Structures are given as C-alpha cells and as structure tokens.
A = this chain, B = another copy of it.
C-alpha cells in the first residue's frame, strides 16, 4: 500500500480548503499535518481562493484579462497570502508571520511541505483551475491529480472528520 492511500481501518479526514487567507492556511496545514502524524489518512481538496497558495511563486495565471486581473489582486503562492482581517496593506500579515516565528510556529508553506512529506493527499479543484486559468504545470510539485466535487464528496462520505475552512 502506498503512502497516503487509505487502509480500510485508518481514520480519515478531508478538509475543503476554500480560503486562501493566511490565518486560515494555518489551521488547514496544522490540522492536516497533525492528523497525518497521528496516523490518519488525510485529504485536502483545494478550491476557489484556496487554490492560489498552491500555485508556484511568481507564476502569471489567468486565460483572459479578467482572470489575469483577479490574480493580479490576489497574488498566487503561500508567501503572498493575506490575513482575513487586520491585513493593513500587508503589514498585518508580515507581523503575524513574525509573531509566529518568535513562537516557533512554522509558516504555512513549511507546514504544507511537511503535509506532503507525510503523505497528505492534496487535490486541486479541476473546476477552479479551469475557471481561473491555472495550468497543471503552474501548480507546486507533489500535489495529487486535479479532482472534481463528486470525487471530493465520495471521499468525505468515508471520512470521520470533514471540515470546510
């Protein structure tokens, strides 16, 4: 059985990662990495705003003027994620990252790498990729195949824990 695949007896958790906000990336990656470290079989279905962090830093995404403008206002990559509040033009996000570092809380991009190392399945939402004009080669390495809502739902129906974040 390959790492990350589900044994029938393993407990499962599925997170729909909808938000791309910095403060929400922590619970996604903390819960996913902690669950994986405790032997759970974990899947993160990344959709809508939650897909932006999984795009490689610096990639230009969008297939037309509107989607290019959207990614211009919502820059891809973990390090560009903004706080959902108190962002203050980026000062809040920067401060939150400093507070985390001082408290030895890893930044979400490092926690995300730990998730991948521990076999967490990360499924990019195919529909969102089509919608926003994100190509597979623009996504970070280590992700699973793009998936749709039906695949995510089938997985959730077998999971003890399901969260929409």
Contacts and interface: CB of A to CB of B under 8 A. Distances in A.
A146 to B, nearest CB: 14
A8 interface: no
Given A64-B102, A153-B161, A164-B163, A69 B95 contact: yes
A103 B74 contact: no
Nearest to A158: B160
Interface string A124-165: 000100111000000000000000111001101111111111
Interface in A2-60: 11, 13, 16, 18, 23-24, 26-27, 30-31, 34-35, 37-38, 40, 47-49
Given A34-B149, A163-B162, A48 B67 contact: no
Given A163-B16, A164-B164, A70 B95 contact: yes
Contact of A105 (B34, B35, B131): B131
A38 B150 contact: yes
Contacts of A66: 95, 98-99, 102
B153 A157 contact: no
A159 B40 CA distance: 15
Contacts of A165: 18, 164
A1 interface: no
Q: Number of contact residues on A: which range applies?
A: 35 or more
Interface of A: 11, 13, 16, 18, 23-24, 26-27, 30-31, 34-35, 37-38, 40, 47-49, 64, 66-67, 69-70, 73-74, 85-86, 95-96, 98-100, 102-103, 105, 127, 130-132, 148-150, 153-154, 156-165
